[in-house]
Amino acid sequence: MRAVVFDAPGGADVLRVGEIGVPHPSAREVLIAVEAAGVSRADVMQRSGHYPPPRGASPILGLEVAGTVASVGTSVRRWKPGDRVCALTNGGGYAEFVAVAAGQVLPIPDGWSGVEAATLPENAFTVYDNLVTRARLRRGDVVLVHGGTSGIGSTAIMFARALGATPVVTVGTPEKRAAAIGFGAAHAIEYRTADFVEEIRAFTHGRGADIVLDIVGGPYIARDLEALALDGRVVCLSTAQGSRVDLDLRALFVKRAAIMASSLRGRTAAEKAAIARKLERHIWPLLPKRDPIVPLVDSTYSFDEAAGAHARMESSAHVGKIVLVP
């Protein structure tokens, strides 16, 4: 089968299409014929040599796909060949076929195309687990989301809106500000020209945000604490501006705050399946309405154009999700 591969870590130009064997699903896996694969920041980091796959995971890039079930393992009962599905993979999505643990598979929502469904799994699993389960999102909360037009950011906006919270975001340009408002942000702050701490305080009449979802790290974490309301929670998902943080712990005490962090890829199949069940119960029924959760496809590239897809991701020019198609 055709797959996007690379021989050694490097820039986007190391990506090429090669021929590899079709994976065989284990007893508890599903083999999916890939129609579309989402491109994530984690893929870029792995290609660059900074995010090696966990032991036992496929070395092929790609953490989310949509397509059709081609075959199932002997212990799989729910899924059957021909089912239209999307899935969170453990790697291997940039290929014509991928084997995925059955518990990480979800149906393609009614009315969503394969390309649209490929934008869902990684962002949905990450945002729901961190925003709802870990940070205990409640109706009426104000959520400050950094990187509001990224895949994670846009999903957080829409999930918060759907669950009765108020999303506020930071963005880099006026165009991205308009885009974020367009898909549900109550307020968008251009961080190059405005102080997000002052802006969120003004927006909340001095109270601050209940939750900050941070994909930046580094010096942002101390400022996130300044932006918090009492009993607020900071959820750190990435370290784009560094993993070292200089904090005055008194800020935590004063705010009665919590800082938490998590990653998704290294979790067990059972843990990922538990997130999938929550998504199917609480989020999937909302998706056919396409309001307020809508598919946000920034652009599509063929496997042969994978280098271009990664270059666009690294440029941060995208709004929503970049998708690869075989």
pLDDT score recorded for residue 132: 97
Q: Do 100 and 32 contact (CB within 8 A), yes or no?
A: yes
pLDDT score recorded for residue 238: 84
Residue 240 pLDDT greater than 80, yes or no:
no
Enter the pTM of the model: 0.95
What's the Cα-to-Cα distance from 306 to each of 16, 42, 87, 94, 296, rounded to whole Å? Answer: 7, 15, 20, 9, 19
Q: Residues 50-66: what's their mean pLDDT?
A: 94
Q: Residues 199-205: what's their mean pLDDT?
A: 98
Cis peptide bond N-terminal to 23, omega within 30:
no
Angle between helices 41-48 and 306-315 (to 10 degrees): 110
pLDDT score recorded for residue 56: 87
Which domains are present in the chain? Answer: 2-119+265-325 (3.90.180.10), 124-261 (3.40.50.720)
Instruction: Outline where DSSP puts E strands in the chain.
Output: 2-5, 16-19, 29-39, 64-72, 84-88, 97-101, 105-107, 142-146, 166-171, 187-190, 209-214, 228-236, 258-261, 297-302, 321-325
Percent of the chain with pLDDT over 70: 100
pLDDT score recorded for residue 251: 85
pLDDT score recorded for residue 160: 98
Residue 217 pLDDT greater than 90, yes or no:
no
Would you state the structure tokens that stand for residue 94, as one six-digit string? 């940039």
Strand arrangement, sheet containing 209-214: 187-190, 166-171, 142-146, 209-214, 228-236, 258-261
Q: How confident is the model at residue 126 (pLDDT cuts 50, 70, 90)?
A: very high
3-class state of residue 160 by DSSP: helix
Helices (H), ranges, the chain: 41-48, 114-117, 121-127, 151-162, 174-182, 196-203, 220-227, 249-255, 269-282, 306-315
**Residue 193, φ and ψ in degrees, nearest 5:** -120, -5
What's the Cα-to-Cα distance from 322 to each of 215, 239, 316, rounded to whole Å? Answer: 18, 21, 11
